[in-house]
Amino acid sequence: MKKIVIVVAPHPDDETFGCGGTLLRHTAEGDEVHWLIVTDMRTEHGFSQEAVNRRQAEIQKVAASYIFSKVHNLELPPARLDTLAKGNLVDAIGRVIKEISPTVVYLPFRGDIHTDHAAVFDAVVSCTKWFRYPSIRRALCYETLSETDFGLNPEGAKFVPNSFVDITPYINQKIEIARLYESEMGEFPFPRSAEALRALAQVRGAACGCLAAESFMLLREIIK
């Protein structure tokens, strides 16, 4: 049965580092996949026009690589989501979810080191209530290199995967898409590197019996 999928990315690149292989698999299996970008570079947010143009070009290339059904961009200021009214963020995300009626939602882990990830998690979770958003059947948190693994609060929640997706046929393409974010990728042992992406996929694959996998924390599943 065809699924309608939405991946919510606090920043362009989170979707790829977090669950790029899974998104490629969804598309290959005929599912409808949407990309919701919450923040973006804009001159009014203090970025140069050159940086804005570069990021917009990256977004276009990445969207074409995944063959997303639609890209939704809230264009909010990065690194400042925790200063915005939570209700406004919930309303903005909720409008997109109501528009497309997804069955599967991928969202960032709340324990990530970046405050934008926590703010997006809280807002998306508010948009998964069955009586307001009845289409949603599964909600899963993805892990993001240099964000999830750097969440060092000893009293905070830890990312404990309980759901795995075999991305063996898609790991090379995921890495190629990640390279489109030229300003985000670096040389190993930089965490956002081709080697680190492949290593994490191999570790998660070893946990579930395949060559490469992505892991998630399943928050909610409704089976009818």
Q: What is the CATH number of the domain that holds 127?
A: 3.40.50.10320
**DSSP 8-state secondary structure symbol assigned to residue 1:** -
pTM over 0.85: yes
CA-to-CA distance for 136 and 101, rounded, in angstroms?
7
Helices (H), the chain: 14-28, 49-66, 86-100, 115-126, 171-178, 194-208
Greatest extent of the chain over all pairs of C-alpha atoms, in Å: 50
What is the tally of structural domains in the chain?
1
CA-to-CA distance for 44 and 34, rounded, in angstroms?
26
CA-to-CA distance for 41 and 47, rounded, in angstroms?
6
In the predicted model, is pLDDT for residue 12 greater than 90?
yes
Average pLDDT of the residues in 168-185: 96
For 104-138, what is each residue's pLDDT tens digit?
A: 999 999 999 999 999 999 999 999 999 999 999 99
For residue 81, with 0-12 CB atoms within 10 Å meaning exposed, 13-18 middle and 19 or more buried, which class applies? buried
Average pLDDT of the residues in 91-95: 98
Average pLDDT of the residues in 213-223: 97
In the predicted model, is pLDDT for residue 45 greater than 90?
no
Range of the domain at 157: 4-221
CA-to-CA distance for 165 and 58, rounded, in angstroms?
26
